[in-house]
């Protein structure tokens, strides 16, 4: 047989393909591992193991098989014991020296009772030493546990002190440089507390005309502080608006992400995201202040080339403003006199970016839908500011049956009248929703509870304090499940500190852990919560379900 042969293989019903096959000659004799012989022709056919090439085992550098480990060397050796001997004693005619002999005299004989008594005394001595050693170890362990406990208490005390200082410092910074709605809520809340203290002091110490003069002076100070707050709010609104614009543009320029089966995140940049990223960089460039004139001209040239891609009325306005700024820069006009023009360019370019045809990635991020028919859905009328607003702009409590004022009107009313700070209640609600999401048992009631409902529960039902320790600092209090086996609800909750909540969630049997009087007080609070939330139609189904579950248990 030749070394190379050509085989014709049929690949289709009417097509064939020639394949070149190389023949390998065996370099060793194949062992016979079974087979059969054709009786007519005499040809032998071996099994598959004989047709394949033998694969050698890799050499590991160790001798795995040897004769010594598989065989046992046996020996038969006879051995003769020593001959018997005798002891010679002194007798007549024979002298044996006794210089090396030992004289043994009998001692006092003691009975079995004395022997056992002696053993008992020895055992008692051993027990004494063992108990002493064991007591030393127990005392050392207790001393070490006490040291660790004191260290932990000191660390916890230091941690709480640092957290409190950090919280006070953060509140001071937020009041000093307010930027968010919560910061201004804290400012107005602090102003209201100061006004109440000053009014009480004036009413207590002054009378007549002096009291009226002091109250007028206090009113003027209040007006000045409110004006100062509003100036800070205007500056903060400008900064927040710029941050919101950059966040919107950055979100539209994010790559597409999805999670694979192995948990890895895959990111892909599309043509729309790359174009959105270019528009974001151009907007950042034209928004920068204090750059040299050459760089400013280069940025304006890039902006001109970009907006020319889509011809519209807005594009013409941007091009006219660009030409006007370039002309004024060539005439050496000061940069401070060009601020208004540059702001107009930024505002028009932002409108250009928000066009879906220019930036398709921003379509789903705009608050105003592109379809006018969608504006007629979920739109309500605010009787206070007399504006038509979407449903997301209304603050609707759980027990409300009609649409009242919008969020902005509630906020203005709060700043003018009560001046309450809802930051503490908002933090408690966020922690509650985060902890319920960790249970992964499809808890629904926690999503129905709004901020006014939670505030009513904490203030009127739980009295703003923990029922265990009477701790009243709301920053340290959280809401957890009373019975962790059932989903959270206003009638299955308890207000505790963080340390108390961790210990409460580790309990397996509440009846054995708490006293009957304490459990009775908690049940009474749950009944009051049921009475309040029974007014909410969406809660009625959950109330019936909890009653059936309680009766079954």
CB atoms within 10 A of CB 224: 10
The enclosing H or E element of 493 equals strand 493-497
Q: Which two tokens stand for residue 14?
A: 């009417």
**What does the pLDDT average to over 50-56?**
61
**pLDDT surpassing 90 at residue 308:** no
Distances (CA, A) of 321 to 293, 340, 347: 16, 11, 11
Name the residue with higher pLDDT: 61 or 431: 431
Quickly state the pLDDT bin for 123 (edges 50, 70, 90): very high
User: What are 390's strand-pairing partners?
Assistant: 379
Measured in whole angstroms, the distance separating CA 294 from the mean position of its chain's CA atoms is 47
pLDDT at 83: 64
**pLDDT surpassing 60 at residue 552:** no
What is residue 140's three-state secondary structure? helix
Give the residue among 408, 476, 395, 414 at the shortest CA–CA distance from 187.
414
Q: Which two tokens stand for residue 470?
A: 């009477």
The mean-pLDDT minimum among 37-46, 69-78, 224-233, 492-501 falls in: 69-78
Top-ranked range on mean pLDDT: pick from 127-141, 211-225, 529-543: 127-141
DSSP code of residue 394: B
Q: Which position has the token pair 């008594």?
A: 117
| Contact by Cβ (8 Å): 539, 445 | yes
Quickly state the pLDDT bin for 116 (edges 50, 70, 90): very high
| Contact by Cβ (8 Å): 19, 9 | yes
Q: Sign of the CA dihedral 515, 518, 523, 524?
A: positive
Quickly state the pLDDT bin for 85 (edges 50, 70, 90): low
CA distance 469 to 459: 17
**pLDDT surpassing 90 at residue 379:** no
Q: Give residues with Cβ within 8 angstroms of 258, minimum separation 6.
A: 265, 266
Q: Which two tokens stand for residue 323?
A: 């030409």
Locate the domains of the chain by residue range: 181-251, 289-372, 378-419, 431-548
Q: Is the pTM of this model over 0.75?
A: no
At 245-294, the pLDDT tens digits run: 888 888 888 888 888 888 788 888 888 888 888 988 999 888 888 888 88
- 427 half-sphere exposure, CB direction, 13 A CA radius: 10
Quickly state the pLDDT bin for 520 (edges 50, 70, 90): very high
**pLDDT surpassing 80 at residue 112:** yes
The share of the chain scoring above pLDDT 90, in percent, equals 13
**What does the pLDDT average to over 98-117?**
87
CA distance 415 to 409: 10
Mean pLDDT for all residues in the chain: 84
Name the residue with higher pLDDT: 244 or 402: 244
Quickly state the pLDDT bin for 154 (edges 50, 70, 90): very high
At 389-423, the pLDDT tens digits run: 877 787 766 556 677 788 888 888 888 888 877 88
pLDDT at 544: 60
Quickly state the pLDDT bin for 141 (edges 50, 70, 90): very high
Give the residue among 495, 436, 412, 463 at the shortest CA–CA distance from 230.
412
| Contact by Cβ (8 Å): 198, 211 | no
CA distance 184 to 420: 11
E strands, 328-430, are: 379-381, 388-390
The share of the chain scoring above pLDDT 70, in percent, equals 90
At 180-199, the pLDDT tens digits run: 888 888 888 888 889 989 99
DSSP code of residue 338: G
**What does the pLDDT average to over 538-551?**
61
User: What are 17's strand-pairing partners?
Assistant: 9
Q: Is 285 left (phi over 0), alpha (psi -120 to 50) or beta?
A: alpha
**pLDDT surpassing 60 at residue 548:** no
Quickly state the pLDDT bin for 106 (edges 50, 70, 90): confident
**What does the pLDDT average to over 22-31?**
73
CA distance 396 to 403: 7
CA distance 18 to 11: 10
Give the residue among 67, 46, 48, 53 at the shortest CA–CA distance from 25.
53
CB atoms within 10 A of CB 515: 9
């Amino acid at each position: 047989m030749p070394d190379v042969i050509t085989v014709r293989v049929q690949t289709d019903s009417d097509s064939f393909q020639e394949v070149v096959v190389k023949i390998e000659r065996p370099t060793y004799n194949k062992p016979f591992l079974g087979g059969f012989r054709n009786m007519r022709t005499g040809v032998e056919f071996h099994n598959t193991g004989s047709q394949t090439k033998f694969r050698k085992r890799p050499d590991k550098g160790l001798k795995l098989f040897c004769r010594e480990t598989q065989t046992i060397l046996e020996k038969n050796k006879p051995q003769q014991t020593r001959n018997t001997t005798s002891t010679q004693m002194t007798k007549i005619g024979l002298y044996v020296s006794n210089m090396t002999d030992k004289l043994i005299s009998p001692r006092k004989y003691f009975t079995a009772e004395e022997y056992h008594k002696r053993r008992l005394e020895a055992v008692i001595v051993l027990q004494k030493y063992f108990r002493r050693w064991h007591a030393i170890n127990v005392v050392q362990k207790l001393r070490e546990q006490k040291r660790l406990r004191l260290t932990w208490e000191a660390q916890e005390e230091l941690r709480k002190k640092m957290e409190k200082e950090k919280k006070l410092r953060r509140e001071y910074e937020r009041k000093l440089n307010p930027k968010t709605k919560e910061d201004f809520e804290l400012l107005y809340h602090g102003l209201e507390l100061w006004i109440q203290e000053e009014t009480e002091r004036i009413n207590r110490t002054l009378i007549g005309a002096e009291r009226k003069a002091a109250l007028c002076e206090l009113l003027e100070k209040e007006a000045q502080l409110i004006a100062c707050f509003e100036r800070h709010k205007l500056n903060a609104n400008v900064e927040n608006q710029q941050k919101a614009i950059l966040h919107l543009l950055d979100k539209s320029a994010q790559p597409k992400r999805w999670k694979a089966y192995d948990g890895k995140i895959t990111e892909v940049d599309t043509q729309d995201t790359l174009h959105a990223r270019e528009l974001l960089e151009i907007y950042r460039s034209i928004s920068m202040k204090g750059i040299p004139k050459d760089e400013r001209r280069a940025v304006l040239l890039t902006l001109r080339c970009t907006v020319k891609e889509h011809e519209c009325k807005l594009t013409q306005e941007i091009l006219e403003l660009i030409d006007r700024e370039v002309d004024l820069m060539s005439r050496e006009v000061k940069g401070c006199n060009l601020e208004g023009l540059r702001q107009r360019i930024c505002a028009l370019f932002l409108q250009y970016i928000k066009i879906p045809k220019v930036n398709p990635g921003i379509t789903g991020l705009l608050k105003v839908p592109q379809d006018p028919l969608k504006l007629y859905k979920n739109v309500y009328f605010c009787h206070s500011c007399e504006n038509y607003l979407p449903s997301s702009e209304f603050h609707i409590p759980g027990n409300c049956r009609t649409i009242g004022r919008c969020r902005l009107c509630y906020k203005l009313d709060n700043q003018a009248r009560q001046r309450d700070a809802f930051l503490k209640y908002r933090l408690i609600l966020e922690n509650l929703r985060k902890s319920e999401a960790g249970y992964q048992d499809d808890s629904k009631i926690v999503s129905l509870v709004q901020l006014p409902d939670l505030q009513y529960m904490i203030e009127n039902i739980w009295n703003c304090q923990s029922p265990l320790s009477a701790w009243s600092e709301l920053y340290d209090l959280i809401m957890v499940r009373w019975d962790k086996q059932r989903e959270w609800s206003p009638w299955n909750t308890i207000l505790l500190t963080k340390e108390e909540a961790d210990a409460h969630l580790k309990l397996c049997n509440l009846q054995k852990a708490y006293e009957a009087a304490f459990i009775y007080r908690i049940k009474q609070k749950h009944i009051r919560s049921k009475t309040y939330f029974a007014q909410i139609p969406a809660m009625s189904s959950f109330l019936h379900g909890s009653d059936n579950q309680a009766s079954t248990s």
